[in-house]
Structure 1
Amino acid sequence: MKLPGQGSALAGMLVIGLGTLIVPLDRAVNIAFPDITTDFSIAISDIQWVVLSYVLTYAALMLVFGKLGDMFGHRRIFLIGLALSAVAFTACALAPAFHWLLLARLLQGIGAALVLSCGPALATALFPESSRARVLGAYTMMFGIGAAVGPFLGGFMVQIWGWEAVFWFRLPISLAALITLPWLPDRQAERRTGKFDFLGGLLLAFGLGALMLALNHITGQGGYGISIGIAGIAALVFFVWREVRSEEPIIPVVAFGQWDFTVLNVFNGLVMLVGFAPYLIVPYFLVRATGFGLGAGGIILAVSAVGQAVAAPIGGWLLSWRRVSINASPIALLSSFLVALATIAMGTWTQNVNFTTMAIPMFIQGLGLGLFQLCILDVAAQRLDVRDRGVAGSLVQVSRTIGVILGATCLSLIFAELREVLGGNDTNALDAFLLAYRYTFFIAGIGLLLCLFLTLIRPRLWFG
């Protein structure tokens, strides 16, 4: 396969990065929640469906679309995703009622799944295999940039133009990528042949969607959540049974027979679970316990995203350094320790904490998250067949999303229970809030450390 010249490859990488950017920029929507709630006259609790309708859709469908990309072309799937996203942004901004907004978010989730499933595969195909880690580092950097810029842009635009602007501003971005993508050369090495397993795809999508929905509802509606969870697990068990007998499986389950690969995917979820703690709880800490305003709070949270954007390309360069042979798994171990220690450090914050004291652990946590995401992307691309690059990238994104949903559920439950136990009848007491905040971060950070030390009983899981 003849690769494009350096200039053409870099231009192609820019187009892919631009198209991918529309997904992490969705953090701008969070800033619009109060305005959406007021405009549609809905209960505050209902706003969660703006997130769930989008996240559950793309998480449930990514692996299916990754497989379709491996069979029918990564560029084609990516292109369809950009087109659907453009339609979805328009539909979201023009939604006349809340239920129409949710339907448009479902469509946006489908578009995001199409884009995310094949983005890494498209990017790595433009460059020699020896540059794979650096390419994935640049690709991962786009998520950090989007996560850092999204809330700032969202806050500015909502204030001037209203909540619709958080969707409108991504329309020209998706259209720009959509217009330029057809000029990107199709460098997919080899496509999977055979018949696509539609029943397996349905089982996988339903199982993942039901399981994640159950995780989200298990705190408030235990029986409902458990029922959906059981149905999701049953679908996934049937899916695995079907996959091991399939001539053209959606996921090459044989890869999970390698324990180090399985452990890395499990820790992808665990690291993201712990890494979600500051995004979930720190905003409440800033409002309740400090004198920092929303603007300063946004900057503090963005520091972690900046750390991710910095770490990913540096990690890619290290993994591609020819003078020294560095494997991804030990760096993933180190990055996991960084996330755990930074989380514990956040738990030591008091009412008198200053900006620098908050920014340092947030940045370190971001470094850890960025490095880990790069490492698992690189390992997945390395372990799976080159014809399964779409599935490899999707697998990483799915385990990451499951970790975020677990974090939102488990950390919220732990924090709420601690406040109730420590505050007695007065759950609004500041002392109870601060203690619950501290213990929640300690539990998350120390829990991750214990899991890491447990795996070190068998060092080969990380050091081959």
Structure 2
Amino acid sequence: MRGLPLLRLLVVGLGTLVVPLDSMVNVAFPAIVGHFAIPIAGIQWVVIGYVLAQSSLLLAFGRVGDMLGYRRIFLLGSAWSGVAFALCALAPSFGWLLLARVLQGIGAGLLLSCGPALATQQFPEAMRARVLGAYTMMFGLGGALGPVVAGVLVARWGWASVYAARVPLSLLAFACAFALPARPRPAAREPFDTRGAALLSAGIGALLLALAQLHAAMAVPVLLAGAGLACLAAYGRRRPAAAPIIDPTVFRLRGFAFITLASVGLNFAGFAVLLLVPFYLARFAALSTPMAGLLLAVSPLGIVVGAPIAGRLAGLVPARMLALAGMAASAAGLAVLAGAGAVPALPLLAFAMLVQGVGMGVFQVAYFDVVTATLPLAARGVAGSLGMLTRTVGLVTGASLLMLTFQGLRAAGAAGGLGAADAFLAGFHGALLLAAAVPAALLVGARLLPR
């Protein structure tokens, strides 16, 4: 990869970077709680509003990109995100911040829905896997930089800086994106499946909200999940006049549904690192905040390492084998983390997180390659959106189920007479073992993957 196509790929990476850099917001949570004087539990809505807006619209935005051109959606997403970041930074109240976060989620959905398609569009189809590897690498780089940069920003300029710092990035990407080639104007505009988009968005949004509310009274997530499944079932049964947002029959292909589920599972498992390891380090490692941020950055750095390697190997090794290798590495890294004791072996922890991150990078490239190869070339936007959607579903599921597992086992240990430190470790070990078991179980079921 060199010359003008490489420069265009870097423009796509720059515009997309603002999405994984949202890991900065986690570092700013305590400052946001203090500034707006809200209960700690209220901070969850900063995440929920953003994730719901982004994820529920991804597939619809991907279809619009397929119809109107990916550059147009990328330009809109960059401009929209720049405005949303500014509104977040200037929010006068917590309610206004939540509204701005929803707007930010819409911008992220626009960018992610067209990012993979726009990146692969700059190169010959034979280079698709290598390009997807480079795109995934840039995504991982944003995840690695976020916590490290946020520590400096919040300490010097406060919580609003984690949003304000991304305004110039969005505007620069918007300006540079005009150098990307525009799609030739079609002879006739395709009709858009508005009712199908509404059913998909409502179904995905309700299911994600149900997952996020698993800690609430059981009736709430059950009702939400039921409504979401009803919407998705209605989408699957209908026969639209226009081309559907995504053809539901594609999930009947041997192995496709499985590897899509595997993508959810690996992102579920991988989120255990960012969700639980920070608490472990704070309790047992006595690290400064910057050092803890650097250690946590090792996992996304593993994605930066693994993704381009997978992209290079994709032409030599079947996607199925790369996916299996990614599952195995992820399971191994998480299993080592699950054995962490009261005296942390920091080099071993860093190595385990690196292995897990490399596994995630390798798997994600393999999954993107399978999805983009399975769906028609004209549906490349929907294909990329599906890949990003499975990531988000896995993260939301992990945030709920892993934390519930940790809290339940910790409480059980304390009730059984364990001291505070031992009860914490009981919850930590159980949740990390659950995380490691998911990719391990997927390895067992991998015979369903396409050969």
Shorter chain as denominator, the TM-score bin is over 0.9
The match for 1:311 is 306
1:20 pairs, out of 16, 19, 23, with 16
Q: Which residue of 1 aligns with 2:245?
A: 250
Aligned partner of 2:118 among 109, 118, 122: 122
Query: Matched residues in 2 for 1:301 and 1:114: separation?
Result: 28
Contact kept in structure 1, 2:15 and 2:78, CA below 8 Å? yes
Indicate the larger mover: 206-215 or 184-193. Answer: 184-193
* Structure 2 counterpart of 1:438: 429
Pair 1:47-2:43 in alignment? yes
Change (3 A) 1:311 1:137: same
**Which amino acid letter does the alignment assign opposite residue 406 of structure 1?**
T
Selected match of 1:419 from 410, 416, 419: 410
The Cα of 1:349 is off from its aligned counterpart by 1.0
Between 1:429-438 and 1:109-118, the stretch displaced more is 429-438
Residue 56, structure 1, aligned to residue 52, structure 2: yes
**Counterparts of residues 383-398 of structure 1 (less than 5 Å):** 383-398=374-389
Tell me whether 1:274 sits opposite 2:288 in the alignment: no
With structure 1 as the length reference, what TM-score do the two structures score?
A: 0.94
Structure 2 CA distance for partners of 1:211 and 1:228, relative to 1, 3 Å: same
Aligned CA distance change for structure 1 residues 246 and 414 (closer, same or farther; 3 Å): farther
Partner of 2:285: 290
Structure 2 distance, partners of 1:191, 1:124, is: 24
**Is 2:167 aligned against 1:171?**
yes
What SS does the corresponding residue of 2:246 show, helix, strand or coil? Answer: coil
Partner of 2:104: 108
Equivalent position to 1:300, from 295, 298, 306: 295
The one-letter code sitting in structure 2 at the alignment partner of 1:80 is L
In 1, the alpha carbon distance for the partners of 2:416 and 2:385 equals 46
TM superposition shift of 1:124: 0.5
On the 8 A contact 1:125/1:188 being kept in 2, the answer is: no
Distance 1:14 1:239 in 2: 37
Matches within 5 A, 1:222-241: 222-241=218-237
Q: Which moved more, 1:66-75 or 1:279-288?
A: 279-288
| Distance change (3 Å), C-alpha of 1:270 and 1:343 | same
Query: Which amino acid in structure 2 is aligned with residue 252 of structure 1?
Result: D
Instruction: Measure, in 1, the Cα distance between the counterparts of 2:188 and 2:132.
Output: 22
1:327-381 deviations in Å (ceiling 9; x for gaps): 1121101101111111111011112222211100100000011111111111111
Greater CA deviation, 430-439 or 185-194?
A: 185-194
Contact in 1 for aligned 2:266/2:438 (Cα 8 Å) = no
2:141 corresponding residue in structure 1: 145
Question: Structure 1 CA distance, aligned partners of 2:224 and 2:143?
Answer: 31
Select the residue among 429, 437, 440 that pairs with 2:420. Answer: 429
Deviation, structure 1 residue 193: 5.3
Distance 1:394 1:447 in 2: 23
Distance 1:286 1:108, change over 3 A: same
> Structure 1 residues 41-50 or 421-430, which shifts more?
421-430
CA distance in 2, matches of 1:209, 1:165: 29
1:447 CA displacement: 4.0
Structure 1 residue 289 displacement after superposition: 2.4
Whether the 8 Å contact between 1:125 and 1:189 is mirrored in structure 2 is: no
Residues 276 and 404 of structure 1 are in contact (CA less than 8 Å); yes or no, is this contact kept in structure 2? yes
Please tell me whether residue 33 in structure 1 is matched to residue 12 in structure 2: no
Q: 1:391 & 1:435 partners in 2: Cα distance? A: 42
Matching residue of 1:462:
449
Amino acid at match of 2:176: T
Structure 2 residue corresponding to 1:131, chosen from 124, 127, 132: 127
Deviation larger for 328-337 or 185-194: 185-194
Aligned equivalents of 1:340 and 1:443: distance in 2?
10
Q: Does 1:83 pair with 2:89?
A: no
- 2:151 touches 2:290 (CA, 8 Å); kept in 1? no
Tell me, in whole angstroms, the C-alpha distance in 1 between the residues paired with 2:205 and 2:80.
20
Pairing 1:65–2:61 present: yes
Q: Deviations over 1:20-57 (max 9, x none)?
A: 00100011111111111111111110011111111111
Paired residue secondary structure (2:297) = helix
Farther-moved stretch of structure 1 (401-410 vs 345-354): 345-354
Distance 1:449 1:191, change over 3 A: farther
What corresponds to 1:213 in structure 2?
A: 209
Residue 74 in structure 1 maps to residue 70 in structure 2: yes
CA distance, structure 2, for counterparts of residue 304 and residue 285 of structure 1: 15
In 2, the alpha carbon distance for the partners of 1:426 and 1:52 equals 36
Distance 2:189 2:346 in 1: 55
Q: 2:156 & 2:284 partners in 1: Cα distance?
A: 29
Aligned to 2:258: 263
**Aligned mates of 2:95, 2:418 — CA distance in 1:** 34
Show the 5 A alignment for 1:191-210.
194-210=190-206
Instruction: Go from structure 1 to structure 2 and tell me whether the alpha carbon gap of 1:295 and 1:188 turns closer, same or farther (over 3 Å shift).
Output: farther
* Preserved contact between residue 254 and residue 450 of structure 2 (Cα < 8 Å): no
- Alignment of 1:367 with 2:354, yes or no, is no
Equivalent residue of 1:219, what SS? coil
Cα RMSD for the two superposed structures: 1.8
Task: State the Cα distance separating 1:8 from its structure 2 match.
Answer: 1.6
In structure 2, what is the Cα distance between the partners aligned to 1:106 and 1:353? 39
Contact kept, 8 Å, 2:71 with 2:183, in 1: the verdict is no
The percentage of aligned residue pairs carrying the same residue is 43
Contact 1:125 1:187 survives alignment (8 Å): no
How far apart are 1:432 and its partner, in Å?
A: 1.3
